[in-house]
Amino acid sequence: MAEVSVIGAGSWGTALASVLCKNGHHTVLWSHKQSQVDQLYKTRENDKLPGITLPEELEYTASLEEAVRDKDLLVMAVPSTATRETSHKLQGLIPSGQRIITVAKGIEDGSLFTQCEIINDELPDAVVGVLSGPSHAEEVVAGLPTLIVAGAEDRMLALLTQELFMNEFFRVYISPDVKGIELGGSLKNVIALAAGMSDGLGFGDNAKAALITRGVKEITSLAVAMGGKFETVNGLTGIGDLIVTCSSRHSRNRKAGVYIGEGMSVQDAMDKVQMVVEGVYSAKSALALGQKYGVELPIIEQVNAVLFDGASARDAVETLMTRNKKAESELLSWNS
């Protein structure tokens, strides 16, 4: 039995804590709100996952110091916008070499750091990795089959994560390509906003398939330019995560995009979703990374235009459809 803490009691953190607990590990779930801790102990239910009773063995705390004491693994499950603040608070609370796995998806505005890079910046002595893939909390906590990837430069951390999480309904692969995993997980949220806008505008399956396919192209181009691997983006944490986030009713990014496509303001759409819409926070950073590495990102550019420059979703689609004529792939050529 391992000693594990999940830092962040949102829907995803709660679902992962449930998996760990059911796997027989002593698991503590940390929330920054004492009121939420009291509610979890009282009802054994997170209001973000209605109808799901959490394991009796699962423990809860609002004390960060208590949560991280003497743990084999910390699972960082706070929203991506809170990763730096929470990591900073861990300074002095954890030992050198503490193993940490982040499950948030996002690129920090300004620094353009991924989640692992943020944690490493605040906690340089920690051993950090990522757990990512097509995995809605609502399905994981219900025990529906899910496949995911544990990525770490330290192979032992990847193997530990695989060992702790894997069971008959939650299959975990391992990978050394942290950069590819994190970029796939972050950029797909921006593409999912576009897919939602398309749905909100009433466009059909053709448009959705095109956005997903060309979205893969944008994610792959940037990830490879930044040192990620094509094989990673072509797998669960790239194509797999993009498909589920662009198409699922559970997807908060797609849902926000639908509301924006229907004419709602960005803020009103986020308020209606009632959860953190990571793609909104990563969109500017994704575009900045494209400019930094010289990678053309037309879909991500138009998502930014809608989110921050006052463009309508319909205008963004017209801009994409009337771009200059080009070949689908620059790698293919005619023999004559």
Spell out the residues 6+ positions from residue 100 whose beta carbon is closer than 8 angstroms to its own.
Answer: 73, 74, 75, 76, 119, 123, 126, 127, 128, 129
User: For position 275, what pLDDT does the model report?
Assistant: 78
- Select 3-176's CATH number: 3.40.47.10, 3.30.390.30, 1.10.10.60, 3.40.50.720: 3.40.50.720
188 flagged as catalytic: yes
Burial of 274: CB neighbours in 10 Å, binned 0-12, 13-18, 19+: exposed
pLDDT in tens, 139-152: 999 999 999 999 99
Please give the helix or strand (H or E) that residue 84 lies within, else none. Answer: helix 83-89
User: For position 144, what pLDDT does the model report?
Assistant: 96
Report CA 70 to chain centroid distance, whole Å.
27
Domain ranges of the chain: 3-176, 187-321
Judged against a pLDDT cut of 80, whether residue 218 lies above it is answered with yes
Q: Which residues pair with 146 in a beta bridge?
A: 170
What confidence category does residue 331 fall into, taking pLDDT thresholds of 50, 70 and 90? confident
Local structure of 247: helix, strand or coil: helix
User: For position 68, what pLDDT does the model report?
Assistant: 98
What confidence category does residue 277 fall into, taking pLDDT thresholds of 50, 70 and 90? confident
Judged against a pLDDT cut of 90, whether residue 279 lies above it is answered with no
Judged against a pLDDT cut of 80, whether residue 240 lies above it is answered with yes
Please give the helix or strand (H or E) that residue 100 lies within, else none. Answer: strand 99-102
Spell out the residues 6+ positions from residue 124 whose beta carbon is closer than 8 angstroms to its own.
Answer: none
The CATH number of the domain covering residues in 187-321 = 1.10.1040.10
- Is pTM beyond 0.75? Reply is yes
What confidence category does residue 335 fall into, taking pLDDT thresholds of 50, 70 and 90? confident
Q: What is the mean pLDDT of the chain?
A: 95
* Mean pLDDT, rounded, for 192-216: 94
Judged against a pLDDT cut of 80, whether residue 100 lies above it is answered with yes
Domains 3-176 and 187-321 equal at CATH topology level: no
Instruction: Give the active site residue among 188, 208, 255, 284.
Output: 188
pLDDT in tens, 65-79: 999 999 999 999 999
Q: Which of 121-125, 128-132, 247-251 is predicted with the least confidence, judged by mean pLDDT?
A: 247-251
Judged against a pLDDT cut of 90, whether residue 289 lies above it is answered with yes
Centre a 10 Å sphere on the Cβ of residue 200 and count the other Cβ atoms it contains: 22
* Mean pLDDT, rounded, for 52-58: 96
Judged against a pLDDT cut of 80, whether residue 336 lies above it is answered with no
